């Protein structure tokens, strides 16, 4: 090749990458709608819909009351009727109220109607701890991974926030799109040309030879920081960003674990029946058993007390310690 | 005396900001309380106001540019003819007040 071609990138905040994806898809397809609390003239709780209300107006962007069960139910209904609603649930904790409509209706609709109907809807919700206490801090994505018919994605960068939202809004069934409070202040480079990122493709963020560290969402930043810390001791960590939790890209993880011989999983949610446990089980079905450890929140509610919150949630020094421990096995 | 204006750690969790608008250029004189520059975070606009008098000498980041917290945005001096330091030589931080809106 005469020269290496790289996409032209533009730097933007995480929330701007979300806005751009939604704006492009609403422009492309008049069936895309937004429903949720403060999504209208306010522009979204994290300003992730900033400016869209002026463009698309109240016909396509509807503020809803504090009634998550009704909002998700309405979205499932309009999706079945041929629209593509995006439902915004500001705190993932309150998605629990919408589980009946999401899990019993939207996720099963195609199966129940023998393919006659589907519910192409996106539930965009924000997980994670940032000083807001027991019922505004949880990461419950692992609960959703076991629902047949539901897809679950969790971007960690603005480029993935953009590309995965594009794919979500074109999907033929319900998608739960999980971002994180601590990701909104972060900027990153996003391709200038329209691009989408397919579901079910993990991304190797850092190549390494001694151990495979798998994570998703905000914990990817903690994982990369931990890999950087242990690199000073000559430990080489391969860091994989799952990006998509359902479907799960076990090919990439198992291929890496075959090379490194060890697996460390990291998540902000609970480890019991967690993302890491599922990743490990399915990886070792391919590779046979390998040394592994899983890190997640302590088995306690996440306090709004900053000292207790920090104690509960994994951080880079703790992940670095786990890496060193795992290397002795 | 030469002073530097760095990106203030105005909003928790913010590591990098975008320059929105300068309220003056090289040679502009600022009195305490004058608006120098507006910076943009993911959610807010940070108004940086002079906490002391000074003359803006050199702008290091233009509107639309990204700049990490702690990095230099501009150089100031007490009088208009003081020679500016070469490269990134350390300078005293200029006093500022900032307001997050």
Residues A14 and A128 in one domain: yes
Domain count, chain A: 2
Residue ranges making up the domain that contains B87: 2-100
Record: contact B66-A11, CB cut-off 8 A: yes
Residues A187 and A216 in one domain: no
So what's the pLDDT on residue A21?
98
Residue A144 lies in a domain: yes
Q: What is the mean pLDDT of residues A14-28?
A: 98
How many CA atoms lie less than 13 Å away from A124 in the CB half-sphere?
32
CB atoms near residue A112 (< 10 Å)? 12
Record: contact B15-A186, CB cut-off 8 A: yes
Residues A307 and A267 in one domain: yes
Residues A53 and A170 in one domain: yes
Domain end point (choices A168, A191, A214): A191
A138 alpha carbon, distance to own chain's centre = 13
Reported as a pLDDT band with limits 50, 70 and 90, residue A2 is low
Residues A293 and A169 in one domain: no
Q: What is the mean pLDDT of chain A?
A: 96
CA pair distance A119, A102, nearest whole angstrom? 9
In this prediction the ipTM stands at: 0.83
CATH of the domain at A88: 3.40.50.970
Cα end-to-end span (Å), chain A: 45
Q: What is the mean pLDDT of residues A155-162?
A: 98
Q: What does the pLDDT look like over A72-120, one tens digit per residue?
A: 999 999 999 999 999 999 999 999 999 999 999 999 999 999 999 999 9
Residue A197 lies in a domain: no
So what's the pLDDT on residue A120?
98
Residues A166 and A208 in one domain: no
Reported as a pLDDT band with limits 50, 70 and 90, residue A5 is confident
For residue A6, pLDDT beyond 80: no
Question: Which strands sit side by side in the sheet containing A32-36, from one edge to the other?
Answer: A61-63, A32-36, A84-89, A122-127, A175-180, A151-153, A244-246
Domain count, chain B: 1
CATH of the domain at B52: 2.40.50.100
Q: What is the mean pLDDT of residues A166-184?
A: 97
A48 is catalytic: no
So what's the pLDDT on residue A115?
95
So what's the pLDDT on residue A45?
93
Domain end point (choices A191, A222, A239): A191
Q: Are strands A32-36 and A61-63 parallel, antiparallel or unpaired?
A: parallel
So what's the pLDDT on residue A101?
98
Q: What is the mean pLDDT of residues A139-166?
A: 98
Q: What are the Cα distances from residue B20, in Å, to A225, B66, B74, B83?
A: 30, 10, 14, 28
Residue A196 lies in a domain: no
Token reading at B96:
């500022």
Interface of B with A (CB under 8 A): 11, 13-16, 18, 41-43, 66
Record: contact A15-B42, CB cut-off 8 A: yes
Q: What is the mean pLDDT of residues A209-232?
A: 98
Q: Residue A54, SS3?
A: helix
A24 is catalytic: no
Q: What is the mean pLDDT of residues A274-291?
A: 98
Interface of A with B (CB under 8 A): 11, 13-15, 46-47, 130, 182, 184-187
Residues A185 and A217 in one domain: no
For residue A1, pLDDT beyond 70: no
Residue ranges making up the domain that contains A80: 9-191
For residue A9, pLDDT beyond 60: yes
Residues A101 and A42 in one domain: yes
Record: contact B42-A14, CB cut-off 8 A: yes
Domain end point (choices A159, A191, A223): A191
What residues in chain B have per-residue pLDDT under 50? none
Rounded-to-5 percentages of helix, strand, coil across chain B? 0, 50, 50
- Longest C-alpha distance within chain B, in Å? 39
So what's the pLDDT on residue A4?
72
b/e map B4-14, b = 16+ CB within 10 Å: bbbbbebbeeb
So what's the pLDDT on residue A284?
98
b/e map A15-35, b = 16+ CB within 10 Å: bbbbbbbbbbbbeeeebbbbb
Set of chain A residues whose Cβ sits within 8 Å of the Cβ of B18: 13, 187
CA distance A238 to chain B (A): 25
Residues A134 and A175 in one domain: yes
Residues A275 and A212 in one domain: yes
Residues A123 and A244 in one domain: no
Report the percent of chain A where pLDDT is more than 90: 97
CATH of the domain at A311: 3.40.50.920
Residues A183 and A224 in one domain: no
């Amino acid at each position: 090749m005469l020269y290496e071609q790289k996409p032209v990138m533009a730097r933007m905040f995480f929330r701007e990458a979300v806005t751009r994806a939604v704006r492009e898809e609403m422009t492309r397809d008049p069936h895309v709608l937004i429903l949720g609390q403060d999504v209208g003239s306010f522009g979204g709780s994290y300003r992730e819909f900033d400016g869209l209300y002026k463009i698309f107006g109240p016909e396509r962007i509807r503020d809803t009351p504090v009634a998550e069960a009704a909002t998700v139910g309405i979205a499932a209904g309009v999706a079945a009727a041929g629209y593509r609603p995006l439902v915004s649930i500001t705190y993932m904790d309150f998605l629990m109220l919408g589980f009946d409509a999401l899990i019993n209706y939207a996720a099963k609709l195609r199966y129940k109607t023998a393919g006659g109907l589907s519910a192409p809807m996106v539930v965009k919700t924000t997980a994670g701890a940032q000083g807001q206490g027991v019922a505004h801090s949880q990461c419950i994505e692992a609960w959703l991974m076991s629902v047949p018919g539901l897809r679950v994605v969790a971007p960690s960068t603005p480029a993935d926030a953009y590309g995965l939202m594009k794919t979500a809004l074109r999907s033929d069934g319900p998608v739960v799109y999980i971002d994180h409070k601590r990701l909104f202040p972060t900027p990153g480079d996003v391709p200038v040309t329209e691009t989408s990122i397919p579901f079910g493709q993990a991304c190797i963020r850092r190549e390494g030879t001694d151990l495979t560290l798998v994570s998703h969402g905000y914990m990817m930043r903690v994982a990369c920081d931990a890999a950087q810390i242990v690199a000073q001791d000559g430990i080489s960590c391969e860091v994989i960003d799952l990006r998509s939790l359902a479907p799960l890209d076990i090919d990439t993880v198992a291929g890496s674990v075959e090379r490194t011989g060890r697996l460390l999983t990291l998540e902000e949610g609970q480890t019991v029946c967690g993302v890491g446990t599922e990743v490990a089980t399915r990886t070792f079905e391919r590779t046979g058993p390998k040394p592994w450890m899983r890190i997640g929140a302590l088995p306690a509610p996440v306090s709004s007390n900053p000292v207790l919150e920090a104690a509960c949630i994994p951080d880079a020094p703790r992940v670095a310690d786990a890496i060193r421990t795992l290397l002795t096995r | 005396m030469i002073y530097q204006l760095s990106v203030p750690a105005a909003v928790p969790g913010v590591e990098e900001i975008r320059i929105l608008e300068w309220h003056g250029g090289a040679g502009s004189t600022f009195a305490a309380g004058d608006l120098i520059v507006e910076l943009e975070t993911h959610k807010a606009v940070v108004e940086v106001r002079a906490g002391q008098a000074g003359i803006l000498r050199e702008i290091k980041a233009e509107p639309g540019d990204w700049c990490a917290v702690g990095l230099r945005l501009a150089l100031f001096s007490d009088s208009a003819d003081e020679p500016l330091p070469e490269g990134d030589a350390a300078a005293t931080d200029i006093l500022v007040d900032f307001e997050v809106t």
